[in-house]
Amino acid sequence: MRRIRLSNREVRELREANKFMAPVLEGADVVEVAQLSEREHLYLVDREALFLKIAHKDVGEYIVPTLFLIHKSAKGKSLPQYPKVVVDAGAVKHIINGADVMRPGIKEFVGDFGRGDVVFIADEKGRVIAVAVALYSKQEMAQMQKGKVLINLHHLGDKIWQASLELVKEKP
């Protein structure tokens, strides 16, 4: 996988464009981008895959934190709070196999979010298992009884998670 190092100007533009990235990029020595596919790029910060730029056919292009950042990186502590939905145990298996989130599987909403916002998906023990985009606002979802409400962009065990683990093992 080819990596391209970003210039200081490009890093500054990333920080300014995404308020959630700014604290994590602060003090970074090397920021690189690695292309996984035509629509998926990983941002590597000091050799750790911390952000994913993904273009989804239904919701557009997003830059989201990787689950590696949330679970494995020390820089995860500087990540601002994202809104979260807690799903029941029956939904977890489907979500970590790539399924989108249906309204009946959601047990709780944490934080406020609108349509198109990035939302973390957590299991009942509070562990983040996926990163998604909301198709509806929190208020709209709370009123719904059924239907797809979140598009799953990145989940534990997917190729992005695997690539993140492999990239850390590579020697500089």
Q: In sequence order, what are the residues at sequence separation of 6 or more whose Cβ sits closer than 8 angstroms to the Cβ of residue 168?
A: 47, 48, 49, 68, 72
Range of the structural domain that residue 7 is part of: 3-169
The tokens of 129 are what?
């298992």
Q: What is the pLDDT of residues 87-114, one digit of tens each?
A: 999 999 999 999 999 999 999 999 999 9
Q: What pLDDT sits at residue 172?
A: 59
Q: What pLDDT sits at residue 145?
A: 94
Residue 171 scores a pLDDT above 80: no
Q: Is the pTM of this model over 0.85?
A: yes
Q: What is the pLDDT of residues 110-150, one digit of tens each?
A: 999 999 999 999 999 999 999 999 999 999 999 999 999 99
Q: What pLDDT sits at residue 16?
A: 86
Distances in whole angstroms, Cα of residue 16 to Cα of each of 10, 19, 20, 66, 152: 10, 7, 10, 19, 26
Question: For the chain, what is the domain count?
Answer: 1
Q: Which three-class secondary structure state does DSSP give residue 107?
A: strand
Name the percent of the chain lying above pLDDT 90: 73
Q: What pLDDT sits at residue 77?
A: 86
End-to-end Cα spacing for the chain: 13
Residue 27 scores a pLDDT above 90: no
Half-sphere exposure of 16 (CA within 13 A, CB side): 6
The CATH number of residue 7's host domain is 3.10.400.20
Q: What pLDDT sits at residue 17?
A: 80
Residue 31 scores a pLDDT above 70: yes
Residue 170 scores a pLDDT above 80: no
Q: What pLDDT sits at residue 19?
A: 80
